[in-house]
Amino acid sequence: MKFIDEVEIEISGGNGGSGCRHFRREKFVPLGGPDGGDGGHGGSVIIRADKNILTLLDFRHQPRWKADDGRPGQGSRKDGRSGDDLIIKVPVGTEIIDLSDGSLLQDLSADGSECVAAKGGRGGKGNHFFKSPTNRAPDHFQPGEPGEKRTIKLSLKLVADVGLIGLPNAGKSTLISRVSAAKPKIADYPFTTLVPNLGVVRGRDGLSFVMADIPGLIPEAHLGKGLGIKFLKHIERTKLLVHLVDVNQYEDDGNPRTIWNAFQEVCAELNAFSPELAAKPQLVAITKIDSLPDKEPLSELTQRFEKEGYLCFPISSVSGEGLQQLLDAVGEKLKTLT
């Protein structure tokens, strides 16, 4: 399934039905008069979050949505039927933005939450409504009101407790595949993750949490380099970030860089995107330690991060070394953030 996280659509509430102009004319009924019924109300467009919907792909093929119109009134004081509401289902975590002014109509961050995005028009009154002691035979009626129309943007932000960040090939996809049932693409070249992945991690004592893996960041990502920062919005809702750093030496345009510098580069990209996101609590995982012939330097590395205020965990997603300690720490940290 192709992952689509932003679409623009046009929505329209149903038009109200027209009131009826009608006079009762029956044999042997001497007291006739106006008996035109009211028109029905137009249906509204309601956008509802549904946990079974995973992408906004369907909206690419149907950019216009309209609710049912109300039916016109009839004689004998029969009111027209109101139009049915149109229920549009979207993934949990979808923001609804009115493109006319950029305002946020609603953030559907919970399953079943909904928003009346375009109201249906009111039905018009029939001529019976206007009957009075001074006007016994009103000849006029009301037309139905048009439904509300809007052009909106649906913007999906995944709902996860923990976000995995790091440079490309830092081991994010391997980690999430090891600790959850997620099956992301894994290979030994950069940018194998092209879309965010979600996985449910079950920890000890029945604790479970949702983990999100986003494509790797590189220096100047906020300027459009690499995959850019378009997917960073998917970890804006997270409570905790786990920053993965490959224990092997990196190179930036042929120049060696330290593990600490690699960590700082990603933090700088987070801050360029959103200072609020960069300020989220972070745990550090030094990955791929199974590739080290000598693990003695790991102690110095962890001390460096912990000196800067970051809990640090050397791990290997291949051998499983250190994974439980990391998950336990994530679980304990989440308890303090809820």
Q: What is the mean pLDDT of residues 134-156?
A: 92
Domain architecture of the chain: domains with CATH: 6-156 (2.70.210.12), 162-337 (3.40.50.300)
Strand pairing partners for 154?
7, 96
Which DSSP string corresponds to 52-90?
T---STHHHH--EEEPPPPPPPBTTTBPPPPPPPEEEEE
- Encode pLDDT of 159-180 as tens digits: 788 989 888 878 888 888 888 8
Q: What is the mean pLDDT of residues 282-301?
A: 85
Distances (CA, A) of 135 to 23, 73, 127, 129, 301: 14, 21, 11, 11, 91
Q: Measure the CA angle with vertex 260, ends 256 and 261; round to 5°.
A: 50
pLDDT at 216: 63
Q: How confident is the model at residue 244 (pLDDT cuts 50, 70, 90)?
A: very high
Q: Which helix (H) or strand (E) holds 261?
A: helix 259-273
Lowest mean pLDDT among 22-31, 147-156, 214-223: 214-223
pTM of the complete model beyond 0.75: no
Strand 250-252 vs strand 255-257: parallel, antiparallel, or unpaired?
Answer: antiparallel
Lowest mean pLDDT among 117-131, 218-232, 317-331: 218-232
- Encode pLDDT of 263-274 as tens digits: 888 888 888 888
pLDDT at 121: 96
Residues in the chain: 338
- Mean pLDDT in the chain? 84
Q: What is the mean pLDDT of residues 53-75?
A: 91
Say which amino acid occupies 250: Y
pLDDT at 338: 66
Say which amino acid occupies 33: G
- Between CA 10 and CA 64 the distance in angstroms is 5
- Between CA 110 and CA 260 the distance in angstroms is 38
Q: What is the mean pLDDT of residues 29-35?
A: 77
Distances (CA, A) of 4 to 1, 144, 319: 9, 37, 34
